Structure 1
Amino acid sequence: MSHRTDIDVRPVTEAEFPDWNRALNTGFLMPPAVAAEQVEARRRQFEPGRSLGAFDGDRCVATYRSFDQELTTVGGGTVRADAISNVTVTATHRRRGLLTRMMAQDLAAAKERGDVVATLIAAEYPIYGRYGFGPATTMTEWTVDVPRAGLDRRWAAPEDGGRIDLVDGEDVRKLGPELHERLRRAQPGAVSRTELWWQSRTGLVNTNGTPWTEPYYALYRSADGEVEGLASYRTDDHWGDAKQPLNTATVDWLIGVTPAAERALWHYLCSIDWVQTVKSGWRSPDDLLPHLLPDPRAARITTQADWLWVRILDVAAALEARTYDGRGTAVLEVVDRGGLTGGRWRLEAGPDGASCGPTAESAHLVLDVADLAALWLGDESAVRLAALGRVREERAGAARVVDALLRTSRRPWCPDMF
């Protein structure tokens, strides 16, 4: 059996990329044989130095990839992020510190580049907290019982004078990126999308190896003709006894940059002939969807879980990059076992901006860098974390002060898996 020192963790070369893909598929329980077409499609994501592998001899036994990303903060600003994906360790090589070595190498490089945070979507909850990541957004999926929703089944067009048209993938690639940018700039927790994202969601590129089936694309234009909404969805073909339709429409993704666009698209999806069930896809936990229905109970939560995880690499830059509705001061002692951004920091914040820097003052609140990440976008409560024993008040009421500064009126949301 190979020992830890026998396994080499290093950036993957072009020649090693097919074997890296085999290890990636193995780790994700997909067929290990990777078609040449899939390897070539994934090669478009390959960045020298950003795809890491652990090699036992000449065989890849662990995978890791990172790439540049922009993450929207509270107030519409953005920070540079080190987005992490494709993390696997082959079952024969677990518990040997391979992920720890790959993570340490990548985060050190991200810190050196000046990235403010690192991001990922965690397949399993217990893994990433030990590397300083905290769950910063939540995802909710609803299943709508259409007959119970109370909508007029004779619905034919938006009530606001807008219109919905079915479009094709070419239209999506043309109109979608700008529409998503409008959403992203207004939505804390949203991340940038590459050209490859749009190509893979419209069938031009296939990175997952499964046969492509064209979805439907519904485009919403307001009464003055402006594009404000776009949805991708699929339907099945399921009929019950006595020729009763029991079809389901499943949303891949839905962008609405105005409440009117969201209302129109959800009402359209709930009015499609034969569709009895609508599955919402990944939405914000405070999404408007249930309350756009006459009977909100017709929208049943079927999944609710942590989603985007954040690892802060620069405390001062992260806290200065967001806005604050209230005014206040907090001295935070940040514990960072990874040694990347710990220390004591004084935050002075208000509606006109924020400043944050190292300080020798006594701490008001002591917390792990992972818990600061959970608080940063406004979704978590310092008071709640104090009750759980995860943050410690050194000054009475400090958790309430931090909540007053950091909590947001609408919850952050990341629409994407990466």
Structure 2
Amino acid sequence: MSRRTEIDVRPITEAEFPDWNRALNTGFLQPPAVAEEQLEARRRQFVPGRSLGAFDGDRCVATFRSFDQELTAVGGGTVRADAVSNVTVTATHRRRGLLTRMMAQDLAAAKERGDVVATLIAAEYPIYGRYGFGPATTMTEWAVDVPRAGLDRRWAAPEDGGRIDLVDGEDVRGLGPGLHGWLRREQPGAVSRTELWWQARTGVVNMNGTPWTEPYYAMYRSADGGVEGLASYRTDDHWGDAKQPLNTATVEWLIGVTPAAERALWHYLCSIDWVQTVKSGWRSPDDLLPHLLPDPRAARITTQADWLWVRILDVARALTARTYEGQGSAVLEVVDRAGLTGGRWRLEAGPDGASCVPTTESAHLVLDVAELGALWLGDASAVRLAALGRVREERAGAARVVDALLRTSRRPWCPDMF
């Protein structure tokens, strides 16, 4: 019987970058060969020490990348995040602890840097809870049956005196970052976007190696001339019998920083000649979209699933970085098997601020750090988690107290995949 060779897990070098990308493509079931244009674009994401590889001899068999990110907490403050991405293990090398080794290295480095949380978008649900990540936001996609929606197909302009204009990629690169910054100040769960993000979505760089075709970009200006919304969308060319149009408009992303902007952009998309279906792209589960239509049932949910996962790296800083609508206190015993941020903490919180300090008092609620990650942005319910056996009340009613403190009136949402 042949002996397995020792697998070396380490930060990759520039020379190893092509092989690392081949392993990355293989893990995500993409063609293994990486086009030079794609490789050059991905090099712009390369940060020494933040891209890890597992090597069997000189062949890369697992990949892992992290990068600096800002995450918006409840109330609009931001925290430093260690964003985890590009996680793969080649099928020939599964069940050897490679992800565990890469994750341990990365989270330890993030803790040392002073990051408050780590984040990721989980391709598979069962993997990341064991590393202390909890599902903190939900993503919903709708398909709007345009004829059923009840909008007047003679719609020509927003009813509020604003206007919709089609713009180009250069306009988007100029206006988009400011609009996204405005959104991010208001939206818990939103994450920062780099200049590369905007370039990749306007054709300046090609990250996926497929031929670029420009989408449509729609911009909303309010009656006073201010730009308050942008959307990127694509259309197909599908016709049925008797020359009946069956076209679909698929939204790639949509930013509306005011309700008026959201209303105008969705109404515009549902008024385009020949378009019978509008696919919303990734939206918040309590998005306004269905109720901006005369018949909300015209918007059918096609996807709803966990989205942004959060791993708390510093309990005290995380809980004091966000705001609280109610007043109260709780003693939380946080279990962290990795030893990064566990312990017993007294949270005192109210509209004027919060404190979170270590304590020797008896715990009111005992929970894993993954469950704290799920609760932190205000979407999950401690009462539901207690019913599921995932948190434990040491004082009767503690879960309700924690819900009253942590839950939010609007659900958190992360508009991005990373």
TM-score bracket, shorter-length normalisation: over 0.9
The CA distance in 1 between the partners of 2:67 and 2:357, in whole Å, is 28
Structure 2: stretches of 5+ with no match in the other structure = none
Deviations 1:99-121 (A, max 9, x none): 00000000000000000000000
Residues 30-82 of structure 1, C-alpha deviation per residue, up to 9 Å, x if partnerless?
00011111111100000000000000000000000000000000000000000
Partner SS for 2:278:
strand
Task: Tell me by how many angstroms 1:411 deviates.
Answer: 0.0
1:2 Cα shift? 8.1
Partner in structure 2 of residue 133 of structure 1: 133
Give, in angstroms, the shift of residue 394 of structure 1. 0.3
Shift of 1:226: 0.3
1:232-269 CA-partner distances (Å, limit 9, x unpaired): 00000000000000000000000000000000000000
Q: CA deviation at 1:3?
A: 6.6
Q: In the aligned structure 1, how far is the partner of 2:214 from the partner of 2:35?
A: 21
Q: Secondary structure at the match of 1:262?
A: helix
Deviation at 1:5, TM superposition (A): 6.8
Does residue 51 of the first structure (1) align with residue 54 of the second (2)?
no
Encode CA deviations 1:193-214: one digit per residue, 9 max, x unaligned.
0000000000000111111110
- Residue pair 1:23, 1:61 contacting (<8 A) in 2 also: yes
d(CA) in 1 for partners of 2:111, 2:135? 20
> Counterpart of 2:164 in 1: which secondary structure?
strand
1:4–1:201: structure 2 CA closer, same or farther, 3 Å change rule?
Answer: farther
Counting aligned pairs with the same residue, the percent is 92
Query: TM-score scaled by structure 2?
Result: 0.99
Per-residue deviation, residues 213-242 of structure 1 (Å, max 9, x unmatched): 100000000000000000000000000000
**Counterpart of 2:370 in 1: which secondary structure?**
helix
CA contact 2:5–2:56 (8 Å) conserved in 1:
no
Q: Within 2, Cα distance between the matches of 1:390 and 1:350?
A: 26
Q: Distance in 1 between matches of 2:101 and 2:39?
A: 25
The Cα offsets for residues 121-162 of structure 1, whole Å up to 9 and x where unpaired, read as: 000000000000000000000000000000000000000000
Find the aligned partners of 1:218 and 1:86 in 2 and give their Cα distance: 31
Q: Secondary structure at the match of 2:105?
A: helix
Residue equivalent to 2:233: 233
Q: State whether residues 233 and 252 of structure 2, in contact with CA within 8 Å, keep that contact through their aligned partners in structure 1.
A: yes
Partner of 1:286: 286
Contact 1:4/1:96 (8 A) holds in 2: no
Does the CA-based 8 Å contact 2:74-2:323 persist in structure 1? yes
CA contact (8 A) 1:2 1:56 kept: no
CA gap 1:128/1:56 in 2 versus in 1, 3 angstroms: same
- How far the C-alpha of 1:330 sits from its partner, in A, is 0.4
- What is the TM-score when the length of structure 1 is the normalising length? 0.99
SS in 2 for 1:185: helix
Question: Mean alpha-carbon deviation: is it higher for 5-14 or for 259-268?
Answer: 5-14
RMSD: 0.9
Distance 1:146 1:235, change over 3 A: same
Q: Shift in Å at residue 4 of structure 1?
A: 7.2
Q: Is the 1:8–1:54 contact (alpha carbons within 8 Å) kept by the matching residues of 2?
A: yes
Write out per-residue CA displacement over residues 80-111 of structure 1, whole angstroms, 9 at most, x where no aligned residue: 00000000000000000000000000000000
Distance in 1, matches of 2:402 and 2:3, equals 46
| Contact persistence 1:4–1:97 (CA under 8 A) | no
Distance across 2 between alignment mates of 1:143 and 1:291:
14
Q: Distance in 2 between matches of 1:48 and 1:204?
A: 24
Query: In 1, Cα distance between the equivalents of 2:382 and 2:43?
Result: 42
Q: Is the 8 A contact 1:13 1:48 kept in 2?
A: yes
What SS does the corresponding residue of 1:10 show, helix, strand or coil? strand
In 2, Cα distance between the equivalents of 1:395 and 1:96?
41
- 1:118–1:243 distance in 2 versus 1, CA, 3 Å: same
- The 3 A distance-change label for structure 1 pair 383 and 338 is same
Q: Is the 8 A contact 1:7 1:57 kept in 2?
A: yes
Conserved in 2, the CA contact under 8 Å of 1:7 and 1:54?
A: yes
Name the SS of the counterpart of 1:208 in structure 2.
coil
- Does the 8 A contact of 1:141 with 1:280 survive in 2? yes
Separation in 1, partners of 2:312, 2:294: 42
Paired residues of 2:143 and 2:277 also in contact (CA < 8 A): yes
State how far apart, in whole Å, the 2-side matches of 1:4 and 1:42 are.
Answer: 32
Quote the Cα distance in structure 1 between the aligned partners of 2:386 and 2:3.
Answer: 41
SS in 2 for 1:6: coil
1 CA distance for matches of 2:85 and 2:203? 21
Shift, 1:357, TM fit: 1.0
SS at match of 1:15: helix
Structure 1 residues 287 and 3, CA, compared in 2 at 3 Å: closer, same or farther? farther
- Number of aligned positions between the proteins: 418
